[in-house]
Structures are given as structure tokens and as C-alpha cells.
Structure 1
Amino acid sequence: MDLPAAPEARFSRILDETQGLIRAHIAGMGVPVDEVDDVAQEVYLVFARQPERMPADVEPLRWLRGIARNCSHEYFRRRARQPRSLAAIADLLAAVPAAETDEPETAPRVDRLRTCVERLATPHRDLLA
């Protein structure tokens, strides 16, 4: 692939020629379809921030696939931590009795939060349990 010398033109050309393949690569790694664009965006941000890290003898697609692999792994790491965060919210909510709060303005907030949790679909509510 002959690439333009100007950094912006070079990036645009690489983006145009690789974005479909990179999205397919990310989806093939198991990232949900509705999250593929976000992960792909991260891939191109990583590349745009440090384009000089790509060795001259490596094709851009190959380099971007490596970045995509790393970004996909990071996506799954973040996703694995998410239920623990939700569980922490549930623990905090359970620790505050409905009628017992030190500040009068806190009780309505806690009640609204409980209402929101109750409205969640069962599988989502189960994540909090």
C-alpha cells in the first residue's frame, strides 16, 4: 500500500482502507455487534496518537489488527469488572434503610434509586444481587 507522506492524509487513507476489516476482526473476537464501533474507535485513537510506533516494514492492517486484539481484550477485562461494580451499588443500596437517613434530602434519592432497581428486567436486577 502506497501511503501519502502527510500524516492526516496517511491516517485517512489507512482508515478508509481498513475500517471494515478491523470491525470484522473485532466482531470475530466476540465483541458484541453493538460495541464493535466503540472498540474500533479506540483502535484508531491508539493508532492516531502514536503512528510512529508502527514499524515501516509492517502493513497497516497487520498493525491495526494487533491494536484491535489488545483493545478487544481490554473491552472484555472492563466487562468482567462491571458486575462487581454493580454488586457494589447493590450493597450500598441495601446498607441504607429506607426510613433511616441522617439527611432529609437523602431519603427521596434512595427511594428513587430503589424504584429504578425494581424496574430493571430480572436478568439485570440479578446482576446486582
Structure 2
Amino acid sequence: MPVGPQAVRQAREAVAGRFGDVGVAPGSAFADAVLLVVSELVVNVLRHAAHSPVADVAIMVGAGQLVVSVADAEPCLPALEPGARGAGLRLLAELAAEYDGDVSAEPAVGYDGKVVIVRFRMPS
């Protein structure tokens, strides 16, 4: 999706639109946590990768996990160590931990950029 003023809303709507496909109950606490993660990840693109023309937002389910990833064209990886995280990354880590998940970041494959990944264990 294009990076701009509508990016957060568009990302949230796109992910919420996939909830039925991936087994997430709309309106549940888990759905709210996933949408908050999407919002924070896209806001981080707007703040820290403003020169990135697009953000690639993905949601996947497998092996009992739901994975949200957001890729952008900024190659600088965020500091993920507990003491170095900003408020947004701390929130992401806390939300993921509530569902036995985690936050990671890695260089993008095939272009100069990065992918931030948040994993959740799917609630039963």
C-alpha cells in the first residue's frame, strides 16, 4: 500500500478483511491486539521510513501462529533489545507476549529494506 495519511486505516481494513480467512473472530480481544499491532507497525513506517513509497503488510497463519509482517524500503533495523525499544516497539512486544509471541526484524529479501514481524500464538 502507498505510504501516506491513509496508510494506517487502509492496513487495518485490509487485515480485518482477512480475519474470516485466517480464523480470527472479528471484535475479539485477539482481533483488537492484531489490529493495534498493524497500526503501530504502519505508524513506524510513516515515522522512520518516510522515504519508502510503499509498505507491504501481510498476515499469515500456520503452525498455530498468526504472523503479521510489515516491510518497507528503509534498511535500518529497529533496536529490539528490551532496554533500547521505543514506546511503540515495547507495546508490540507486550501484545505479542500476551499471546506467547514475539517481535523480530530482518533485512528484506530482494530489495534494500526491512521486514518487522510480530508472531502470536492463535488463541484456542
TM bucket (normalised to shorter chain) is: 0.3 to 0.5
Larger helix proportion of the pair: 1
Larger strand proportion of the pair: 2
TM, length-normalised to structure 2: 0.35
Larger Rg: 1
